[in-house]
Amino acid sequence: MMQFSQQLKDEQGVIDAAIVMGTDLNKNTLKNMDLLTEDGISATENDTLISINCQDENSLDNAIQKAEQLLVSDSAKAKNEFNDLPSALDYFSNANIASLSIPGQFVKEMAIKLIKKQLHLFVFSDHVPLEDEIYLKNLALENNVLLMGPEAGTSILNGTVFGFGNRVRKGSVGIIGASGTGIQESSTMLDLFGEGISHAIGVGGRDLRNDIGGMMTMKTMEIFENDPNTKAVLLVSKPVDDDVRNKIIDKINNFSKKNYVLCLVGDNENREDSDKIKFSKSIQISVLKILKYLNDDAYKKITAIVENQVNESIKLAESLSNDLNEEQKFVRGFFAGGTLCYESKIILEQMIGKVYSNLSSDDTYSIKGNVPSKENTLIDFGEEEFTSARPHPIIDPLLRKNRILEDANDPNVGVIIIDIICGINAAKNTMAFHAETIKKAIQTAKEQGRKLSVLAYICGTE
């Protein structure tokens, strides 16, 4: 729908336009864009809203006709559609994996049927009740299949991407990720450094909590242990519950024949490396450590390049800081990737103190929903509060765009940080879309007599 919205905006005489589902979050976005009408207010989340602002009646008629064409042509493109699961399974009789992207409350019923057919399952859906996840993962283990997810943003199996991801080199690194962007960042960085992956398996954001006990993480470790193409394993996660982390470390030390790097972003402990396990708190350092396992010469070469890039970045930051006035004290960050947001939060808090965020575990600095920023603020727009009946921001960046432009109006803001997640299933022309947003943000500040620095991290491959 984001692509349709952009195509409408490109029509002659159209000032602004949006095609969205009628969720409360989307209606609030339309209100901020001055596109919410009385009819739109009464819409439900099952309704599609077409909101258009045009220069004249003729342009409006043409835009409405264009919107109808887009929606009708999209539904006509569908191929191999089935009205029931047995028909789909009969048609794809040789399938060994299924992907679910449906409302969370319906996942259990469908997943049970697929797991009992001995299909591995990739569950992109969020809002799946915790008790359903526990039940389904136990069922998956009983049937000797993987349950990737829920909230599995990315898996890459034999080069095939499920969810969001990029085409990366085939290689000897197996990746286990409790987060989608953690897998994307590490796999694309390995590709950039000349190394590749055997598989990348997303186990779901809650798998490493005590409730789940790392069920799919442990299962995936067993798969990599028996995979001759996997020489080393990288596990990427935000903080892991103590009992689960200790269980993983014990399994590696006592049973593993392979080398591991555990990237525990935000871990409070300084852990010592051993022969089998190396620890890291950042994805880039983790990738360098796993590269050292595989090719020491390449590790030394890449490390020197990275150190030079860091030094150049510091010089650039110092230069840009001279352009800020005394009132521009605060940093704002708006992310599509949760791991990237969390990494940025950890780094910033080491430099400038506490940061307001919807990822904060400190109630004093925790903010939820699309509420105004406070002082230094970082927001993950991929969290469940923003994706209820709305596409993930990697697919539809409109909500985040509006927030970037809103905070560009704040005279106390000196720096805005964003991530741009490229690749398969991401929004088309995402680079151009975000480049235009950045230009508008900088121009907004310029018109008010300020200079604004925008730091954009691009996650993707060529």
Using 50, 70 and 90 to split pLDDT, how confident is the model at 277? very high
Domain topology for 158-311 = Rossmann fold (3.40.50)
CA distance 155 to 180: 8
Task: Please state the pTM of the whole predicted model.
Answer: 0.84
On the question of a common fold for 80-150 and 323-459, the answer reads yes
Task: Return mean pLDDT, the chain.
Answer: 90
pLDDT computed for residue 8 by the predictor: 84
CATH code assigned to 323-459: 3.40.50.261
Q: What is the mean pLDDT of residues 2-29?
A: 82
pLDDT computed for residue 257 by the predictor: 92
pLDDT computed for residue 176 by the predictor: 97
pLDDT computed for residue 46 by the predictor: 78
Class for the domain spanning 80-150: alpha beta
Cβ burial, residue 440 (10 Å; 0-12/13-18/19+)? middle
Please check the confidence at residue 187 and state whether its pLDDT lies above 70: yes
Please check the confidence at residue 73 and state whether its pLDDT lies above 80: no
Using 50, 70 and 90 to split pLDDT, how confident is the model at 431? very high
H-helix or E-strand spanning residue 389: none
Please check the confidence at residue 74 and state whether its pLDDT lies above 60: no
Q: What is the mean pLDDT of residues 41-64?
A: 88
161-173 confidence digits (pLDDT tens): 999 999 999 999 9
Please check the confidence at residue 217 and state whether its pLDDT lies above 60: yes
For the chain, the structural domain boundaries read: 2-76, 80-150, 158-311, 323-459
pLDDT computed for residue 1 by the predictor: 65
pLDDT computed for residue 75 by the predictor: 53
Interhelix angle 57-76/2-9, nearest 10 degrees = 150
CA distances to 6, 48, 51, 433 from 67, rounded to whole Å, are: 11, 11, 10, 20
How many percent of the chain have pLDDT more than 70?
97
Using 50, 70 and 90 to split pLDDT, how confident is the model at 101? confident
For the four alpha carbons of 87, 91, 96 and 102, in that order, the dihedral sign comes to negative
| Phi, psi dihedrals of residue 447, rounded to the nearest 5° | -65, -20
Using 50, 70 and 90 to split pLDDT, how confident is the model at 78? low
What Rg value do the Cα atoms of the chain yield, rounded? 23
Q: Return the SS3 of 459.
A: strand
Nearest Cα to Cα of residue 290 among 301, 281, 274, 277: 277
Non-local (6+) Cβ contacts of 435 within 8 A are none
Please check the confidence at residue 19 and state whether its pLDDT lies above 80: yes
Please check the confidence at residue 141 and state whether its pLDDT lies above 80: yes
Q: What is the mean pLDDT of residues 395-406?
A: 91
Using 50, 70 and 90 to split pLDDT, how confident is the model at 77? low
Please check the confidence at residue 111 and state whether its pLDDT lies above 80: yes
CB of 118 closer than 8 Å to CB of 144:
yes
pLDDT computed for residue 389 by the predictor: 66
324-357 confidence digits (pLDDT tens): 999 999 999 999 999 999 999 999 999 999 999 9
pLDDT computed for residue 179 by the predictor: 74
Q: Return the SS3 of 136.
A: helix
Using 50, 70 and 90 to split pLDDT, how confident is the model at 5? confident
Non-local (6+) Cβ contacts of 341 within 8 A are 333, 335, 357, 359, 378, 379, 380, 419
Please check the confidence at residue 204 and state whether its pLDDT lies above 80: yes
What is the length of the chain? 462
